[in-house]
Structure 1
Amino acid sequence: MNRYLDKLGRTASGVVLLTVAYVALHVFLDGISWVHGLQNLLITPWNPVAGLALAFLLLAGKRYFPAVMAGCLMADLLVRGASFHLLPSLLFALAFALSYAACALLLRRHRIGLDAQSLRDVLLLAIIGSGTALLIGTFHVATLIAFDMLSLSRLGEALPRYWVGDVIGIVTTAPLILVLWPHRKDLWGLLKELVWPLAAVAAISWITFGVKTTNEFKLFYLLFLPLIWMAVRHGMKGAVIGIAATQLCMMAITTLLGYEAATVTSFQILMLVLTLTALLLAAVVDERVLAESNLHDHQMSLAQMTRLSLAGEMASGLAHELNQPLTAIVNYIKAAQGLLQGPSSRLDDVQDALGKASKQAMRASQIIGRLREFLQKGEMELSPVPLSDLVAEALSLIASTAKRSQVRIAVQLAAPSPKVMVDRIHIEQVLLNLLINAIEATSARSADEREIAIEAKSADDGMLEIAVRDNGPGIDPEIEGRLFEPFASSKSEGMGLGLMICRTIVEAHGGSLWHDDKIGDATIFRFTLPVDASA
């Protein structure tokens, strides 16, 4: 139930107010739409009170069916007083109210939206509403025949006219109320935007129905143009306003010029096709807009999740990157402690060990600073650096590890060493990670067979290709295809972040990092870096 109507209906005075308002509106609509009534009865090609009743019961609830029944009785008495008969009118009012209450309940059970803005909602409203109109129409006509108020010979004329009138009333009036009720505060602004399309509807309606020399049925299809524009431009809100305006213009002109009932009924069948076309098109437009909005919201959620995931990965990455200098700091400090505790303290060696520890602490600080800048700004401090300096720095950092692991490292660089345009700290980290992985990989071999090679050669497009090769057992086939994915590792204590971080750093420099599996049993990782163009 609509919140406003729900709040109003919680008090007895509110229920009375809603009932009186509905009955008044029912009688008013019945009065202005009762044209071409067969034998002065409620059998007309336009019956908007059917749509009013259905929309009211959907919004306010089925408990208001007595208000709908009262509206039917009052309309029969005040609008068609000359043909008013209490018992037939009472039976029809009861059937009309109960049928549309059941229709509203059925639509609710099929979870139709109260704004009727989806394609499914429009189809359900049209199908269930048409069935309800046929049921009521059959009962109404049968009741009139039973009470000798209508000749049996006119059954074939009466039932189609009543059914067309109720169905067109449902599909034009119910969506108008259901769609615009939640946006009633914005209605004036919307109408101002639709001034020219509505003027076009009025003009085309007059040309189609008002100029007697024209073929109305051929020109009727011109009405599709403004309605399609309003449906595409403003969705369901524009479509229902355009449909209501078209219906009012058509009925006003045909009534004013005295069109025959059969002709008006034929127009109403065309109007039904026009209405359903506009509603379905508007529903598709609204669903697309909603889908795009949901997609945008989903993308924003994913972006937020990605940022959180990146933060987590970078936190792990920091731990991974800082592990190397921190381990070196611990080793140097332990060495200094060992020297101080020895029988003869060698202060020069202690000072050297503490100096190296201080250097590693500064390196850890630089790593944190560079990674923070990399995340926050996406920028790096690029400078021309000789490749030999980068390799020498990385080798000095792992010298003790390589010695302890008994690994021989061969370096084959061109002389003079080319300069590359890089962030020194980042690329040293790449080399360091690749070398540590290579050292760990060669541990499976005997000590005299452990070999690592660092090579470099020119590549295309002003790039330099660096390769780190080891003769370890190779890459585990199970993870070879996802080497550069997060948490892909064959090491029991590895986090699987090193290669992912290395590739991110290299690609940020405009290069590439890949695993070369085409050369024998060797494990080779290659990456490219831009050569200093000014050199």
Structure 2
Amino acid sequence: MAGVVGIEEPRWPAGRAVRILGVAGCYYAAAQLGLLRDLTVEGAVVTPIWPPTGVAVAALLLLGPGCWPGVTLGAFFAVLSLTTPGPAVLGVLLGNTAAPVCAALLLRRAGFRTDLSRLRDGLALVFLGALTAMLISATIGVGLLVLAGSLAGHSFWIVWLAWWVGDAMGVLIVTPLLLLLLHGGRRRLPLGRWKEATALLLAACALVPLAAYSSNSLLFLVYPLIIWAALRFQLAGSVMCALLTSVVATLAATDEAGAFAGLSRIEVLVKLQAFNGATALTALLLSALIIEQRNTRRSVERACQELVEVLEHLTAGEAPPPKPQNGPSGTVDDRDRRSEAP
């Protein structure tokens, strides 16, 4: 059974320092990727997808809570690349650190498995790790902008919504992808599945840009692709398809092209966030449900096979072979032999 903690905490300070610096570097790199495309809403610059939150949550789940200084350090350099340090920066750093830490703690408390093998794991990541925990960073960040006078009070809610959804999207898209690299990299597809995967990739590369950049608003065409990916390739296929869809849709929205042409900034933001959120939720929850059903079916098949073997022994008039039961003092047979010994 896969647990929450993927890697033990290092015993030596040098190892912990390396992990912290590694997390900080990954956080900063993800921030620079997120800042490549942004939207200006009510004078505030927001990103439709903020990948560093997903990096931070995955790092805290896999490396342990002791790597939280790396999140703070990476957030500091990310903010430093945008503006000069000030009193408000401390509050932003607090929010950007507290939200992923809270997400990791909530997920651990809920018994979250990093392989996302159950539907409850997908639900926990959505409602606890993304939607609930990211309220912290959005509330602190936008609240400080209002208190500092950088944002008008009447613009609080629209900017807060954009901040919150952007952070949540980072968790919904990036965190499963990083967890997938840990657990899914060990699996190998047969040749026939590689052909189907190639066909899915070609279809996605052709259909997703068409749906996003078409003036006829054809965004709904991506959902059959996500369903196909989830049914045939589970989390690996659905998450990659959702990532591609969200990135292309974000490019079209920031260019104000295709389905986002002729809309105001607020309308573009709302439409994009609703589409990205629905795409990520569909991919994550559908793949988690399919994985859980397949695991249940395999368990039932193994139980049926064991029952058939028992019935075959009973039909032949033989006693079924005993199953060894491991315990602190050895197997059952070992204890029986010790009790019969003089």
Give the TM-score taking structure 2 as reference length: 0.80
CA distance in 2, matches of 1:261, 1:19: 38
CA distance in 2, matches of 1:11, 1:42: 41
The answer to whether the 8 A contact 1:47-1:166 is kept is: yes
The answer to whether the 8 A contact 2:208-2:222 is kept is: yes
The answer to whether the 8 A contact 1:164-1:269 is kept is: no
User: What is the letter of the counterpart of residue 132 of structure 2?
Assistant: G
The answer to whether the 8 A contact 1:176-1:240 is kept is: yes
Give the Å deviation of 1:62.
1.4
User: What is the letter of the counterpart of residue 240 of structure 2?
Assistant: I
Q: Aligned pair count?
A: 306
The 1:104/1:95 distance shift into structure 2, 3 A limit, reads: same
**1:232 corresponding residue in structure 2:** 231
CA displacement, residues 238-277 of structure 1 (integer Å, 9 cap, x when unaligned): 1111111212222234335576643144122122112212
**1:293 corresponding residue in structure 2:** 298
User: What is the letter of the counterpart of residue 209 of structure 1?
Assistant: A
CA distance in 1, matches of 2:25, 2:41: 24
Query: Please, which of 304, 308, 326 is the counterpart of residue 303 of structure 1?
Result: 308
User: What is the letter of the counterpart of residue 276 of structure 1?
Assistant: L
CA distance in 2, matches of 1:146, 1:300: 66
**1:6 corresponding residue in structure 2:** 8
1:119 corresponds to 2:124 = no
Helix, strand or coil at the partner of 2:115: coil
CA distance in 2, matches of 1:244, 1:10: 36
1:142 corresponds to 2:170 = no
CA distance in 1, matches of 2:167, 2:131: 8
CA distance in 2, matches of 1:16, 1:109: 26
CA displacement, residues 270-304 of structure 1 (integer Å, 9 cap, x when unaligned): 22112212222212211121111111221233234
How do residues 343-492 of structure 1 correspond to structure 2 at under 5 angstroms? none
The answer to whether the 8 A contact 1:26-1:72 is kept is: yes
**1:199 corresponding residue in structure 2:** 202
CA distance in 2, matches of 1:12, 1:39: 45
**1:366 corresponding residue in structure 2:** none
The answer to whether the 8 A contact 2:134-2:164 is kept is: yes
CA distance in 2, matches of 1:10, 1:164: 37
The 1:95/1:188 distance shift into structure 2, 3 A limit, reads: farther
CA displacement, residues 194-230 of structure 1 (integer Å, 9 cap, x when unaligned): 333233223222212324xx232xx110000111100
Larger Rg: 1
Query: Please, which of 277, 283, 286 is the counterpart of residue 278 of structure 1?
Result: 283
Q: Which moved more, 1:90-99 or 1:53-62?
A: 90-99
The answer to whether the 8 A contact 1:208-1:220 is kept is: yes
The answer to whether the 8 A contact 1:54-1:103 is kept is: yes
CA displacement, residues 422-441 of structure 1 (integer Å, 9 cap, x when unaligned): xxxxxxxxxxxxxxxxxxxx
User: What is the letter of the counterpart of residue 19 of structure 2?
Assistant: L
**1:104 corresponding residue in structure 2:** 104
**2:51 corresponding residue in structure 1:** 48
The 1:50/1:254 distance shift into structure 2, 3 A limit, reads: same
Helix, strand or coil at the partner of 2:8: helix
User: What is the letter of the counterpart of residue 295 of structure 1?
Assistant: V
Give the Å deviation of 1:188.
9.4
Give the Å deviation of 1:18.
2.1
CA distance in 2, matches of 1:64, 1:192: 40
The answer to whether the 8 A contact 1:130-1:167 is kept is: yes
1:75 corresponds to 2:81 = no
Give the TM-score taking structure 1 as reference length: 0.53
Unaligned runs of 5+ in 1: 316-535
Unaligned runs of 5+ in 2: 320-342
The answer to whether the 8 A contact 1:210-1:254 is kept is: no
**1:343 corresponding residue in structure 2:** none
**1:17 corresponding residue in structure 2:** 18
The answer to whether the 8 A contact 1:231-1:282 is kept is: yes
Give the Å deviation of 1:33.
1.4
The 1:184/1:15 distance shift into structure 2, 3 A limit, reads: farther
User: What is the letter of the counterpart of residue 291 of structure 1?
Assistant: T
CA distance in 2, matches of 1:265, 1:173: 21
CA distance in 1, matches of 2:306, 2:109: 32
**2:331 corresponding residue in structure 1:** none
The CA RMSD over aligned residues, in Å, is: 2.7
CA distance in 2, matches of 1:181, 1:193: 23
The answer to whether the 8 A contact 1:2-1:60 is kept is: no
CA displacement, residues 171-200 of structure 1 (integer Å, 9 cap, x when unaligned): 111111123321234589888753332332
Give the Å deviation of 1:141.
0.7
CA distance in 1, matches of 2:194, 2:141: 38
CA displacement, residues 49-86 of structure 1 (integer Å, 9 cap, x when unaligned): 112211111111112111111111111112x1xx3333
CA distance in 2, matches of 1:296, 1:106: 34
Q: Which moved more, 1:193-202 or 1:173-182?
A: 193-202
**1:90 corresponding residue in structure 2:** 90
CA distance in 2, matches of 1:249, 1:310: 62
CA displacement, residues 114-168 of structure 1 (integer Å, 9 cap, x when unaligned): 1223211111111112011123211211111112222212113211111121122
Pick the structure with more strand per residue. Answer: 1
Q: How many percent of aligned residue pairs carry the same amino acid?
A: 24
